[in-house]
Amino acid sequence: MAEKQDKKTIRFKEVTEHVDIETGEVQSYERKSVFQVDKEPEYVKLYLRDIIRLNGLPPATGKVLNALLQSMGYNNIIPAYAPIKKVICRDLGVTMHTLNKAIDNLYKKDILIRIDRGIYMADPELFGRGTWGEIKEIRMMVTYTEDGKKQIKTEVDKDQLKLF
């Protein structure tokens, strides 16, 4: 059985034309390039409400998660400090206490990973924004011990993720 490749081949053709100044004759040549890039892994579309339900969180937490994800950057970083929280509270019609409780629940379920005070990373196993090459760089390996505890490993240095 053939081994599945983790790369895909991209071919493109670049045509460059040159004009002879003395004769006005158009001379052209063709350059072909071939390179390989990592393939995006297989995925299944998963809705936010399903992530919330599968983690046993209150349904209203999904609205908070959606609001937070809308401000997520290309490195999966989500700012959640006071001025941003106030805007989210206003937009969702919830109190700061309700918002903070939802964020805490998302943190406890490892859906959000705390990077620093008011700065979170959306779990890159669930969410990603950017090109596959960028997303691949922040992916994590999640394993479980025999007693059911989650262990997270990543190639990204936590200090690289601090923005402020």
Query: Please, are residues 68 and 112 in contact by the beta-carbon 8 Å criterion?
Result: yes
pLDDT tens for the chain, 164 residues long, are: 444 556 666 666 666 777 777 887 877 766 666 666 666 666 556 788 888 888 999 988 999 999 999 989 878 899 999 999 999 999 999 999 999 999 999 999 999 999 899 999 998 878 877 676 666 666 655 567 788 776 666 555 555 444 43
Q: Between vectors from CA 81 to CA 157 and to CA 67, what angle results, nearest 5°?
A: 95
- Is residue 113 within 8 Å of 120, Cβ to Cβ? yes
Q: Is 8 within 8 Å of 37 (Cβ atoms)?
A: yes
Q: How is 31-57 classified by DSSP, letter by letter?
A: EEEEEEEEPPPP-----HHHHHHHTT-
Q: What phi and psi, each to the nearest 5 degrees, are found at residue 16?
A: -120, 130
* Largest separation between any pair of C-alpha atoms in the chain: 80
- Which amino acid, residue 14? E
- Per-position DSSP letters for 64-128, written without gaps between them: HHHHHHHT--TTSEEE-SHHHHHHHHHHHT--HHHHHHHHHHHHHTTSEEEEETTEEEE-TTT--
Q: Label the pairing between strands 26-38 and 7-19.
A: antiparallel
Angle between helices 82-92 and 61-70 (to 10 degrees): 130
Verdict on whether the full-model pTM lies above 0.85: no
CB 62 within 8 A of CB 111: no
